């Protein structure tokens, strides 16, 4: 190692113009000057990139930045920066803080003294300031009642942690151990601290070396949370969710166990499994409280602990209530949703005894109509169910296990004749303020398009034989008509009364005189289990019929434009960049991204493809992994689909 080792200062920026200059100036004013600054901007729409450009011109030898084509999100952005850093040490920086002038020097001196050729990291306390730079709290660690010591403390790091990424400095050996980040990681500093605690050394500097800015756009800490924490009474009665639950940390910890099993001692393993039981709530709450106390898994604050113990009992009780009070009029709904809901079969005695009962039914099917009628009769509520937009590997009609379900207590997404929960989300949700959601949506869309993930995922991808057979590489413009199944509920409720199949075909021909017109038949029709909504023999003279069951996204990539009535495949066409003409009013029509032949006056907002995806695929849909028997998110579902399909392909190759 050189006498003056170089540090890579890494920063992820997104719409940070307000505080960025002050932070950059504080980094450039460090007493230790052997560093380079690398910044990855996540597609800012304000003046952030202009600011970065001006600093790069001022400091061309040590200031470098890049702008992402797709929004990666904070975690993936930092992962990319860390992967591409070659300096001996790495420091992470937020875009809105202020570094004390001795930060790098103090942390580097300590890191060199403890690393001993092992993975190691140093972090510090922080001073909390508001948007105007006024001090809110002199010590972040004292304010949060986090009591860290400079010895191994896996029980503290795995739960309340206290390691803030914006103070971190670590060496290349730790970098080698933390990469790649686990999937679905919510915050990168949590993973870095966990790995360091298991395989390396951590040192906490109790002097605040960063002014940590708290403002309205903070996600983990903001002014309201700071004010709330000062009120003891509010801390006791607050009914927020239990800390850490629902963040996917159980999967992160599973990754830790599998990746570093050889580095964990028996006590650490016991602590990790105890925390997993807390996250999964898979034991009696009294046992979980016992684990929490035994292993000191939550902050050493009396009022905070009392609140958590109360919440543990409430949380477990709320899950029991959900099991007791969900009812449906048909056992078929109970069977098809067993992985998502624990429903009981309706009878009048059960409702009399359980006055808060919720009635569940399937969309606009008979059970859905009955759920609405029963909810009205008993003056309670209903929820309508439907398959999600990424349903399964094989066809649902063949019994393929479902990955997703939508629950709607307003209407159902494909019924444009009345409002739905999804429509209300699209009319009112503040997508611009939810940067995490939008980053996740863009990442999910990118993954979905790259891996050709659709509603059903067992169909073959387009290959050279298909391309040659249908002349998909020809220069001529290609237009695709999307057929549906006869009796599809979305056709009945999709505001299609003014148009016929002939109207759609005539429009496609007249509006695209120089194009070649194709028709894609629904897979349920190709399998012989349902009839088509289009007379295929009649349209043969005008269209080329695609006779194979092909993966929709892999096929859509060869088309310029699609025509549909209400098919969800029209939205998948938008994902790959096709123009989409809608004759009905599917969930994605009426928001300004499609050419619409019908009008829905309730749909007032203008939405982007990304915003509609975020609402429909993330906010509106819940996911379950039937192979691992657990609730999950969209990313795990897509990864599981890719994994299962790759296993099928490998099996076929082996047989050949």
Q: What pLDDT, in 10s, does the model give residues 282-320? A: 666 666 666 666 656 565 556 666 766 666 555 544 443
Cβ atoms of 10 and 82 closer than 8 Å: yes
Q: What is the mean pLDDT of residues 4-13?
A: 96
Q: Looking at residue 646, what is its pLDDT?
A: 84
Domain final residue pick, 221, 240, 269: 221
Domain identity same for 175 and 269: no
Domain identity same for 450 and 530: yes
Q: Is residue 279 part of a domain?
A: yes
Q: Is residue 432 part of a domain?
A: no
Q: Is residue 347 part of a domain?
A: no
The dihedral of CA 304, 310, 316, 322: what is its sign?
negative
Domain identity same for 165 and 302: no
The dihedral of CA 508, 512, 514, 519: what is its sign?
negative
Q: Looking at residue 216, what is its pLDDT?
A: 57
Domain identity same for 262 and 213: no
Cβ atoms of 538 and 557 closer than 8 Å: no
Domain identity same for 141 and 278: no
Q: Looking at residue 573, what is its pLDDT?
A: 97
* Number of domains observed in the structure of the chain: 3
Question: What residues does 66 pair with on adjacent strands?
Answer: 40
Q: Looking at residue 133, what is its pLDDT?
A: 93
| pLDDT tens for each residue of 331-389 | 777 777 777 776 766 655 445 444 456 889 999 998 899 889 888 887 888 999 999 99
Domain identity same for 212 and 255: no
Domain identity same for 215 and 267: no
Domain identity same for 261 and 138: no
| Mean pLDDT of the chain, nearest integer | 85
Q: What is the DSSP secondary structure assignment for residue 15, as one 8-state letter?
A: S
The dihedral of CA 194, 198, 199, 205: what is its sign?
positive
Domain identity same for 25 and 152: yes
- Which three-class secondary structure state does DSSP give residue 220? coil
| pLDDT tens for each residue of 475-491 | 889 999 998 887 777 78
Domain identity same for 204 and 271: no
Residues 94-112 as b or e (16 or more Cβ within 10 Å = b): bbbbbbbeebbebbbebbb
Which CATH number characterizes residue 598's domain?
3.40.50
| pLDDT tens for each residue of 488-541 | 777 888 888 777 778 888 999 999 999 999 999 887 777 777 787 777 777 888
Domain identity same for 77 and 209: yes
More confident: 409 or 306: 409
Q: Is residue 227 part of a domain?
A: no
Does the structure show a pLDDT above 80 at 78? Answer: yes
Which CATH number characterizes residue 35's domain?
3.90.550.10
Strand-strand pairing, 63-67 and 35-41: parallel
Give the DSSP per-residue string, 556-586. Answer: HTT-SEEEESS-THHHHHHHTT-EEEESS--
Q: Looking at residue 354, what is its pLDDT?
A: 47
Q: Is residue 646 part of a domain?
A: no
- Which three-class secondary structure state does DSSP give residue 208? strand
Q: Domain range for residue 87? A: 7-221
Domain final residue pick, 322, 343, 370: 322
Rounded Cα gap, residues 563 and 539, in angstroms: 14
Q: Is residue 274 part of a domain?
A: yes
Domain identity same for 205 and 308: no
Q: Is residue 126 part of a domain?
A: yes
pTM given for the model: 0.53
């Amino acid at each position: 190692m050189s006498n003056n080792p170089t540090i890579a200062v890494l920063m992820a920026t997104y719409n940070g113009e307000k505080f960025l200059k002050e932070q950059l100036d504080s980094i450039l004013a460090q007493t230790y000057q052997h560093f380079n600054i690398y910044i990855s901007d996540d597609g800012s729409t304000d003046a952030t990139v202009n600011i970065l450009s001006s600093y790069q011109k001022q400091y061309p030898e040590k200031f470098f930045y890049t702008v992402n084509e797709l929004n990666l999100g904070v975690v993936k952005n930092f992962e990319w920066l860390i992967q591409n850093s070659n300096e001996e040490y790495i420091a992470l920086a937020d875009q809105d803080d202020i570094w004390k002038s001795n930060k790098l020097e103090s942390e580097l001196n300590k890191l060199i003294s403890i690393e001993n050729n092992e993975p190691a990291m140093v972090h510090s306390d922080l001073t909390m300031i508001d948007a105007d730079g006024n001090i809110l709290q002199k010590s972040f660690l004292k304010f949060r009642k986090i009591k860290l010591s400079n010895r191994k403390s896996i029980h503290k790091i795995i739960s309340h942690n206290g390691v803030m990424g914006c103070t971190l400095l670590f060496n290349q050996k730790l970098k080698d151990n933390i990469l790649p980040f686990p999937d679905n990681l919510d915050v990168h500093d949590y993973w870095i601290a966990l790995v360091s605690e298991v395989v390396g050394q951590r040192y906490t500097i109790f002097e605040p070396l960063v002014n940590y800015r708290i403002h309205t756009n903070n996600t983990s800490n903001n002014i309201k949370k700071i004010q709330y924490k000062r009120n003891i009474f509010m801390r006791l009665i607050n009914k927020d969710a239990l800390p850490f639950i629902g963040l996917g940390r159980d999967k992160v910890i599973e990754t830790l166990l599998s990746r570093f099993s050889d580095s964990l001692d028996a006590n650490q393993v016991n602590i990790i499994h105890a925390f997993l039981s807390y996250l999964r709530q898979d034991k009696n709450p009294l046992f979980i409280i016992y684990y929490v106390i035994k292993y000191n898994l939550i902050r050493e604050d009396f009022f905070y602990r009392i609140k958590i113990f109360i919440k543990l009992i409430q949380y477990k009780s709320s899950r029991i209530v959900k099991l007791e009070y969900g009812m449906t009029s048909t056992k078929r709904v109970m069977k098809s949703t067993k992985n998502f809901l624990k429903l009981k079969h309706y009878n009048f005695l059960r409702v009399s005894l359980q006055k808060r009962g919720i009635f569940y039914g399937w969309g606009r099917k008979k059970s859905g109509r009955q759920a609405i009628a029963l909810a009205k009769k008993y003056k309670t509520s209903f929820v309508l169910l439907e398959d999600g937009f990424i349903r399964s590997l094989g066809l649902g009609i063949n019994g393929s296990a479902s990955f997703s379900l939508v629950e709607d207590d307003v209407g159902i997404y494909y019924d444009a004749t009345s409002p739905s929960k999804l429509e209300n989300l699209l009319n009112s949700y503040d997508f611009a303020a939810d940067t995490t959601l939008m980053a996740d949506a863009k990442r999910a869309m990118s993954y979905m398009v790259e891996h050709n993930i659709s509603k059903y995922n067992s169909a073959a991808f387009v290959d050279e034989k298909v391309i040659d057979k249908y002349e998909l590489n020809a220069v001529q413009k290609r237009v695709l008509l999307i057929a549906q199944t006869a009796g599809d509920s979305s056709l009945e409720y999709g505001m299609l009364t003014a148009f016929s199949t002939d109207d759609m075909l005539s429009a496609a021909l007249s509006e695209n005189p120089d194009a070649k017109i194709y028709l894609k038949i629904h897979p349920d029709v190709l399998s012989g289990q349902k009839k088509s909504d289009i007379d295929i023999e009649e349209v043969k003279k005008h269209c080329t019929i695609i006779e194979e069951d092909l993966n929709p996204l892999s096929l859509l990539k060869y088309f310029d434009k699609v025509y549909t009535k209400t098919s969800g495949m029209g939205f998948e066409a938008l994902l790959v960049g096709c123009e989409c003409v809608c004759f009905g009013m599917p969930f994605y029509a009426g928001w300004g991204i499609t050419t619409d032949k019908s009008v829905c006056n309730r749909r007032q907002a203008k939405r982007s493809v990304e915003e509609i995806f975020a609402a429909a695929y993330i906010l509106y849909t819940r996911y379950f992994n039937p192979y691992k028997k657990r609730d999950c998110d969209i990313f795990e579902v897509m990864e599981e689909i890719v994994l299962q399909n790759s296993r099928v392909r490998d099996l076929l190759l082996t047989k050949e």
